[in-house]
Amino acid sequence: EAGVTQFPSHSVIEKGQTVTLRCDPISGHDNLYWYRRVMGKEIKFLLHFVKESKQDESGMPNNRFLAERTGGTYSTLKVQPAELEDSGVYFCASSPGVWNNEQFFGPGTRLTVL
């Protein structure tokens, strides 16, 4: 069974540009999470989807970040326009359902904003 995949693995962009990160969860997992680790700090929760519905966006930094999960399958996280402080590693995780809270993480996307 394929694990959680993320694309790209690394992205380098200039301040003001737009970047879209993609996450493909494990097939059949209804829950999808986005997290971010900024250099030297904790991994922090960004948001949570159940299927295509956003359940909790409390961790999204500001309105420059937009997450979608079309059809309840893969998810995208768009940053527009990117700022220097957005640099970090963005992780995606998925879990099966209500009674199983084990989260399976992808390898992360390292975003560098110059």
CA pair distance 105, 94, nearest whole angstrom:
7
CA pair distance 68, 61, nearest whole angstrom:
16
Among 11, 21, 23, 31, contact with other proteins (rule: CB under 8 A) = 31
Q: Does 1 bind other proteins (CB under 8 A)?
A: no
Contact predicate 47/56, CB 8 Å: yes
Contact predicate 110/6, CB 8 Å: no
| Phi, psi for residue 71 in degrees, rounded to 5 | 65, 10
Residue closer to other proteins (CB basis): 10 or 15: 10
Q: Does 91 bind other proteins (CB under 8 A)?
A: yes
Find the shortest distance in angstroms from Cβ 76 to other proteins: 19
Q: Does 62 bind other proteins (CB under 8 A)?
A: no
Among 28, 39, 41, 63, contact with other proteins (rule: CB under 8 A) = 41
Q: Does 72 bind other proteins (CB under 8 A)?
A: no
Would you call 107 exposed, middle or buried from its count of C-beta atoms within 10 A (0-12, 13-18, 19+)? Answer: middle
- Say which DSSP state 97 is in: B
Interface residues with other proteins (CB under 8 A)?
30-31, 33, 35, 40-45, 48, 50, 55-56, 59, 89, 91, 93, 95, 97-98, 101-108, 110
